[in-house]
A and B are shown apart, each in its own frame.
Chain A
Amino acid sequence: MSTMTTNQSNRPGVPTPPVRKRNSLAKGKLPKWAIWAIAAGAIIVGAAASTLTGFNVASFAIYSALIFLVAASVITTAAEGKRRGKNAMWTYLIYAAFIVAVIPLVSVLYTVLEKGMPGLNSHFLFSSMNGVTGAVDNESVANGTPVVGGAYHAVMGTLLITLWATLISVPVGMLTAVYLVEYGQGKALSKAITFFVDVMTGIPSIVAGLFAAAFFGMILGPNARMGIVAAVALSVLMIPTVVRSTEEMLKIVPNELREASFALGVRRWRTILKVVIPTAISGIASGVTLAIARVIGETAPILVTAGIASQINMNVFANWMSTLPTFIYYQILTPTSPTNIDPSVQRAWAAALLLIFMVMALNLIARLVASIFAPKKGR
């Protein structure tokens, strides 16, 4: 349409031949199919180059990607100019970064699903490793019978230790956040607490474990390892997360709500408990859930505080305990039967799958809680 009018205005009176001219705005641009052509060319040349050095998928992908990147940038530069060429190069580099990042992450998830599925059955879920020795594993491999032994003790250990860590961290963390937002505004103490909570966020998990071990070691004598020590170690990691998320949520509660409550003669503590916290509860709950999801997968602090166990131990105040992460770690590093590692590997991956399910479920719950209980907007 626009080409018709330009032609007519250029040559008035002369009947225009029906020539299709390209839009002037699109002039000097590569047609859309060009980039696919370059990609196809790069794949063919890449395959050829890879075959020269003995074909394998990795070198084929690397060669093709490099050839495509160089060719696409050079051709775009030639056709559209230097600036657009540079733009094209960086665009493809960023797409490449994304693809490179996705490969290991997909590989992790695929591996866990593929290797974990066969082992994740009711026997695995509801029996412990009590009495499962190398001989048992050798026998099940030799006879081709299903793998004996499971992670019930580790699941229970994970749940109990995480529960205790939550019981310690949530009150402490929430009260601290209340102090920071409601009482300590501008005070030196609250600045110090904010700073050290930030510092605590960065404590390596193994150091938190060492701290709990050293602390209880001095009180109860060396090698005091039990569930509650691990729970203390985990709460050192969990408290800063709870404080930060609760603080953020309390801060966004509008001041008008507090003032309205004070104006009605309500005491400050009742205002906080009945007005401020209920308004922010969805955010706080999702923050706490995310904090639980973070510590449930911690391995290193459990390793140095709760030891390992192969039997069920429901008492966090005595004896060693296993959790899913330490179960995975020891099944891989020291297989039950050193000559037939397959049963141990299968148990480890099944436990890994179970652990990922738990973490993902907690994350989804946090999202749901945040969206369902979110305070209603004005209209």
Chain B
Amino acid sequence: MTTNALTSKSSTSGRAGDKIFSGAALGAGVLILITLFAVAVFLLIQALPTFFADPAEISGGAGFFAYIWPIVIGTVIAAAIALLIATPIGIGVALFISHFAPRKVAGPLGYLIDLLAAIPSVIYGAWGYMVLAPALVPGYEWLAKNLGFIPIFEGPASQTGKTMLTAGIVLAVMVLPIITSLSREIFLQTPKLHEEAALALGATRWEMITTAVIPFARPGIISAVMLGLGRALGETMAVALVLSTGNLIPSLIKTGNQTIAAEIALNFPEAFGLRLAELIAAGLVLFLITLVVNMIARGIIARHKEFSGAN
């Protein structure tokens, strides 16, 4: 074969460069898969002693299941309170920014909400500890006095305000920017023609929103809420700082209850041996719970991708 100027020298060095570069790119991708696999494997290995240990040696003295169950429930309760508060308000704020606020303020407001999503969780936790908890004490006393017959508001109310309900409210404040900024993105993508058609038929603004905006954005809202749920389940610092922990109890305004993430953060620094394995096992449970929640959210997004444009 005759060599030609186009393929001779530069080509061989170029081919090597191609191989190195594509190999590096492939390697990085595979590294991510290995890392995630390693997360699961290492957590499992380090957690194993818990599952084979004598049940009496586990904290609480009744085996791992009896230890983990109350804090799983606590985690779910905290996240549920957060979502019950944050979902309607978050969607309301998103609608306010996308369809109600004057144009000039809407842009800066959206930017502000994005900035608030970036505030570190420990600062929300410190705020809950120092400002919110004391401020809520009179409210809890009122609830215990007037609605105390409902188990979740059973008194006597905590005098420090460091209760499950406070933790749930702090979590709600933290997930609110997430739900708002994701739903706002989707509301803004509603086809303008749909909205204008609804208005042209004589719909009021609210009717336009229920007939054109909400049906279009529904899958996006659901996935925004699920992602908020994932954050609320795994959130550590707010709960670790705000909740004064205890056993699982139905009342939300008394000292008590615990979540997985806070349990790990509060006890890990002093843990060793079997206690360490226990906490890592708890982390594994948390990992699985958030994994399921996130996969459901991603599934919903993937199914409706062509409509919502959310990703």
Which A positions have Cβ atoms within 8 angstroms of B?
Answer: 56, 58, 83-84, 86-87, 90-91, 93-98, 100-101, 104-105, 107-108, 111-112, 115, 171-176, 178-180, 182-184, 189-190, 192-193, 195-208, 210-211, 213-215, 217-218, 222-223, 236, 239, 243, 265, 267-270, 272-273, 290, 293-294, 296-300, 303-304, 307-308, 325, 328-329, 332-333, 345, 348-349, 352, 355-356, 359-360, 363
Contact = CB atoms under 8 A, between A and B. Distances in A.
15 contacts: A84-B204, A101-B92, A107-B131, A175-B29, A180-B29, A204-B234, A215-B42, A218-B45, A267-B15, A267-B17, A269-B17, A273-B21, A290-B118, A303-B268, A308-B269
Contacts, number: 266
Contact of A211 (B39, B125, B233, B237): B39
B127 interface: yes
Contact of B173 (A108, A171, A176, A355): A108
Please name the 6 residue pairs, one residue from A and one from B, whose CB atoms are nearest each other, closest first.
A204-B234, A297-B120, A97-B92, A202-B294, A175-B28, A269-B21
B67 to A, nearest CB: 17
Contacts of B29: 175-176, 179-180, 184, 189-190, 193
A363 B130 CA distance: 27
Contact of A204 (B115, B131, B261): B261
Contacts of A108: 119, 123-124, 127, 173
A217 B271 CA distance: 13
A178 B122 CA distance: 34
B186 interface: no
B173 A205 contact: no
Interface string B25-39: 111111111011011
A83 B234 contact: no
A218 B204 contact: no
Given A90-B206, A236-B39, A297-B122, A307 B269 contact: yes
B269 A217 contact: no
Main secondary structure of the interface of A (DSSP, over half): helix
Given A196-B36, A202-B293, A207 B272 contact: no
Contact of A101 (B90, B127, B290): B90
A299 B230 CA distance: 17
Interface residues of B, number: 91
Contacts of B118: 290, 293-294, 297, 359-360, 363
B119 A206 contact: no
Interface in B154-191: 173, 176-177, 180
Given A98-B96, A179-B28, 8 more contacts: A94-B96, A107-B127, A171-B28, A211-B38, A267-B17, A270-B14, A303-B269, A352-B122
Contacts of A201: 294
Contacts of B38: 211, 215
Given A101-B90, A107-B127, A210-B280, A304 B269 contact: yes
Contacts of B25: 175-176, 178-179, 182-183
A272 B43 contact: no
B18 A269 contact: yes
Given A201-B294, A203-B287, A218-B45, A329 B237 contact: yes
Interface of B: 6, 14-15, 17-18, 20-22, 24-33, 35-36, 38-39, 42-43, 45-46, 88-93, 95-96, 100-101, 114-116, 118-127, 129-132, 138-139, 173, 176-177, 180, 204-207, 209, 227, 230, 233-237, 240-241, 261, 264-265, 268-269, 272, 276, 279-280, 283, 286-287, 290-291, 293-295, 298
Nearest to A112: B123
Contacts of A270: 14, 17
B124 A223 contact: no
B134 to A, nearest CB: 12
A199 B96 contact: no
Contacts of B28: 171-176, 179
B39 A86 contact: no
Contacts of A87: 204-207
A214 B42 contact: yes
Given A204-B287, A210-B43, A348-B126, A97 B96 contact: yes
Contacts of B286: 204, 206-207
Nearest to A193: B29
A248 to B, nearest CB: 8
A144 B45 CA distance: 54
A299 B205 contact: no
A300 B14 contact: no
Contacts of B230: 202
B123 A356 contact: yes
A352 B92 contact: no
Contacts of B237: 299-300, 325, 329
Contacts of A207: 39, 43, 234, 283, 286-287, 290
Nearest to B180: A101
Contacts of A83: 204, 207
B167 to A, nearest CB: 14
B290 A192 contact: no
A342 to B, nearest CB: 12
A91 B100 contact: yes
Contacts of A267: 14-15, 17-18
Highest count of chain B CB atoms <10 Å: which of A184, A192, A299:
A299
B43 A214 contact: yes
Nearest to A268: B18
A100 B180 CA distance: 13
B145 to A, nearest CB: 12
Nearest to A235: B35
B234 A298 contact: no
Contacts of B42: 211, 214-215, 218
A86 B206 contact: yes
